């Protein structure tokens, strides 16, 4: 009679069982690792793009706020710089729509990320609108309070940090 212990320890049986376990386990582990790597790559790309878009607009408005204070706002040079800031804002609108669509696609079940992004974009719009208001005040001869942009700038940067943390903690759907 054949002993089960002899069969279980036979080299051929061990080889077959090992091959079966490997054929099931290794692909699963590899797929998980690849999915994790892909998720990290997507998150890093999103975070990089978000940071670039936000900081470009913040710096553009910030430099114009300083420029308004120290320049002749009716000079051709100033107007050219101001038009460049307007172009940056137009680019913000385009890129923020693209980023918003990507966030919805990747994190469609995570309303916090999408709401934080929408709030951040709205604050960037207000930040730009404050610049327009300051410019119009100066053109009309009014004294403008230029400290409000500093507070809004800090709020935007804090919201950007919050969004980055939410993205890093979030899980991309469909991977």
Please state the rounded mean pLDDT for residues 56-85: 89
pTM of the model: 0.81
| Extents of the domains making up the chain | 40-169
State the pLDDT at residue 32: 87
Residue 76 has a CB neighbour count (10 Å cut-off) of 8
3-state SS of the chain: helix, strand, coil percent to 5? 85, 0, 15
Please determine, for residue 104, whether its predicted confidence score (pLDDT) is greater than 70. Answer: yes
Residue 3 has a CB neighbour count (10 Å cut-off) of 8
State the pLDDT at residue 2: 63
Query: How confident is the model over 13-47, as pLDDT tens digits?
Result: 777 878 888 788 888 888 888 989 999 999 999 99
Query: How confident is the model over 122-158, as pLDDT tens digits?
Result: 999 999 988 888 888 777 777 666 667 788 899 999 9
Q: Is 85 helix (H, G, I), strand (E, B) or coil?
A: helix
Query: How confident is the model over 54-70, as pLDDT tens digits?
Result: 999 999 999 998 888 78
pLDDT band at 71 (very low <50, low <70, confident <90, very high): confident
Distance CA 97, CA 87 (A): 16
Residue 6 has a CB neighbour count (10 Å cut-off) of 9
Please determine, for residue 167, whether its predicted confidence score (pLDDT) is greater than 90. Answer: yes
Matching residue, tokens 């910030």: 62
């Amino acid at each position: 009679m054949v002993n089960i212990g002899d069969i279980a320890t036979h080299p051929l049986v061990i080889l077959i069982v090992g091959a079966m376990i490997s054929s099931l386990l290794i692909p699963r582990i590899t797929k998980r690792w690849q999915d994790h790597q892909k998720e990290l790559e997507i998150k890093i790309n999103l975070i990089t793009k978000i940071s670039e878009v936000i900081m470009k607009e913040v710096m553009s408005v910030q430099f114009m706020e300083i420029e308004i204070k120290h320049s002749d706002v009716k000079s051709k040079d100033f107007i050219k710089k101001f038009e460049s800031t307007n172009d940056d804002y137009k680019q913000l609108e385009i890129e923020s729509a693209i980023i918003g669509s990507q966030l919805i696609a990747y994190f469609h079940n995570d309303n916090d990320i999408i709401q934080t992004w929408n709030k951040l974009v709205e604050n960037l719009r207000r930040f730009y609108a404050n610049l327009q208001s300051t410019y119009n005040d100066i053109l009309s001869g009014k004294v403008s309070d230029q400290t409000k942009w500093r507070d809004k700038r800090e709020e935007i940067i804090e919201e950007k940090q919050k969004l980055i943390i939410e993205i890093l903690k979030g899980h991309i759907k469909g991977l």
